[in-house]
Amino acid sequence: YPDWLWKIRKKNKDFTKQYFGVDGLNVPGVLTLNGDPMGGWIQYSLSPTIGAWAAQHFYWQWKYSMDKTFLKEQAYPYIMESATYLKNITTLKNERRYLPLSSSPEYNDNSVSAWFDNWTNFDLSLAHFLFQAATEVSTAMCKPQEAENWLKCKAQLPHYATDETGLQVAVNLPMKHSHRHMSPYMAIYPLDLLDINNPQ
């Protein structure tokens, strides 16, 4: 899978610049084998955080292999470009970093109510993961100033939306019905950011 993502990387970077208007790398949520966006419900077909999800594959490939060549030639550049895009598309408000709009796959279907002006836990968990991964690969590449920059970006993200039952879909929006997408819980799996054994 990382081989294919690497093959379509340039096309995805061109798409990112054309659609989102910023430098860096994001990936369409629905695309052809050649890397062209195909469309669909915009909340997932043109999601602002699919690049972070794609970057996870490069991160885990590096972590499982600890291959320094793969880190230098693919994992580091891919994660850096993805993190650069996410930093570029987010803005700071009251010292917290926010997306222009956020969504959670297929939640509220294809309606205007599927968009949120605050983070969904889906997008937020991917942002936390990506800035953390960028910190880690920068450290592994002996780039401490870069690592400090990405750690600062991660610290600027808000906390996950929760209530007494646990994780919500978004701020003040609990999961009100069963839903086939478990995306609000990505911080638990597959991103491995929240662990019941870790009190933080």
Q: How many helices and strands in the chain, by DSSP H and E?
A: 8, 4
Which pair of structure tokens corresponds to residue 156?
């600027």
Locate the domains of the chain by residue range.
2-104+114-185
- Of the given ranges (37-41, 59-63, 178-182), which has the lowest mean pLDDT? 178-182
CATH architecture of 2-104+114-185: Alpha/alpha barrel (1.50)
DSSP for 140-188, please give it: HTT-HHHHHHHHHHHHTSPPPPEETTEE-SBTTB---S--S--GGGTTT
**pTM (2 decimals)?**
0.94
pLDDT in tens, 40-81: 888 888 999 999 999 999 999 999 999 999 999 999 999 999
